[in-house]
Amino acid sequence: MHKRNWDDLRFVLTVVDQGSVSAAAKLLGVNHATVIRRVAAFEDDHGGPIFARSHSGYRVLPDRWRVIEAAREVENAMFAVERTMQSAVAPLRGVVRVSSTDSFCQILLPKFVARLHSESSELTIDLLSNNSHLDFARMQADISVRPTPTLPDDMRGEIACDLGFGAYAAKDAPETWLGLTGELARAVPARWMATHIAPEHITIGADSFLVLREMAISGLGKVVLPRFLGDAEPQLRLVPVAEDIASVPVWVASHADMRIVPRIRAVADRLAAYLGENADQLAGRGAD
């Protein structure tokens, strides 16, 4: 596929993913007219319209989904070529993008970044704070530090430590609980709450453990937090529960194709070692 067509394909798939030209333009960092022009060019080159246009957005025509599926395969192949080329020539210097949760990015990882900067001025870390999983096929991040039971099939990594959880409350807090919403609703602590806490006892919620901690400090109810967040807060006390909340492995992982890139491998190894040094704090051992 010629480069012009490849670029047009990228615009088309972004419109499919985002559902509108304006959202695609924002994500791609271009103006509205550029997206319309690129989509039209793709359609002209491939024999007709791909989308049904309406005020509510762009919808793929039913008989064009096979074109979109084929385009996905081309896109994935192009990304694979880019990853392979990068892994073949990448030096032990440059920027490494590390994705993790907001709690890790705010509390734990800044100290790691400072240590790495003092040891190697040629390696630079960009922290991407996000409680959702980024798209590694599109290389939005190089390394992910994630508490998760398992990795996706296209990811490779190692378990650096375990993340423990506990129930906490401020003094004189009500018996109600704060809920886990958004991405946290699929986490292990949310499953524990679904089993042990009646829905009517869960009042307000949030999609960030940092926000939930502040809500608990304000006396809004009991809350489940990672031990390293709850144990460090003097205004919260650990609340006994009938059944312990399961811990979760903390993975340091990369896309399988990028794991061998020297700078990514070097940072991943140091990250895993750093988290291992803090394993007791993260698991909540010795803090009861």
Q: Which residue has the tokens 């009938």?
A: 242
pLDDT band at 278 (very low <50, low <70, confident <90, very high): very high
Assess whether pLDDT exceeds 80 at residue 4. Answer: no
CA 49 to chain CA centroid, Å, is: 34
Supply the CATH classification number for the domain 96-158+252-278: 3.40.190.10
Number of H helices, E strands in the chain: 11, 12
In sequence order, the 6+-apart residues with CB closer than 8 A to the CB of 200 are none
Assess whether pLDDT exceeds 70 at residue 276. Answer: yes
Quick one: CA torsion of 146, 152, 158, 161, rounded to 10 degrees?
Answer: 40
From CA 220, how far away is CA 169, in angstroms rounded?
Answer: 9
Q: Which of 229, 127, 153 shows the shortest CA–CA distance to 184?
A: 229
Longest dimension (CA), the chain: 69
The pLDDT of 91-112, averaged and rounded, is 90
Report the percent of the chain where pLDDT is more than 90.
49
pLDDT at site 287: 62
pLDDT at site 69: 84
From CA 83, how far away is CA 102, in angstroms rounded?
Answer: 27
Question: pLDDT digit string (tens) for 134-166?
Answer: 544 444 789 999 999 988 888 889 999 999 999
CA distances from 138 to 78, 82, 106, 266 (A): 10, 10, 25, 21
Q: Which stretches of the chain are DSSP H helices? A: 3-18, 21-28, 32-45, 65-89, 102-103, 109-119, 188-196, 209-217, 227-230, 262-277, 279-283
Assess whether pLDDT exceeds 90 at residue 119. Answer: no
Output the average pLDDT for the chain.
Answer: 87
**So what's the architecture of 165-239 in CATH?**
3-Layer(aba) Sandwich (3.40)
Assess whether pLDDT exceeds 90 at residue 260. Answer: no
Cβ–Cβ under 8 Å, residues 9 and 42: yes
Domain positions in the chain:
3-88, 96-158+252-278, 165-239
The pLDDT of 220-241, averaged and rounded, is 97
Q: Are strands 177-180 and 202-206 parallel, antiparallel or unpaired?
A: parallel
Provide the CB-side half-sphere exposure for 36 (13 A, CA): 6
In sequence order, the 6+-apart residues with CB closer than 8 A to the CB of 218 are 170
Supply the CATH classification number for the domain 3-88: 1.10.10.10
Full-model pTM: 0.68
Sign of the C-alpha dihedral computed for residues 227, 131, 258 and 92 taken in this order: negative
CA distances from 210 to 48, 104, 247 (A): 50, 10, 18
Please tell me what DSSP assigns to residue 133.
P
96-158+252-278 shares its CATH topology with 165-239: yes
Which residues in 122-131 are b (16+ Cβ under 10 Å) and which e? Answer: ebbbebebbb
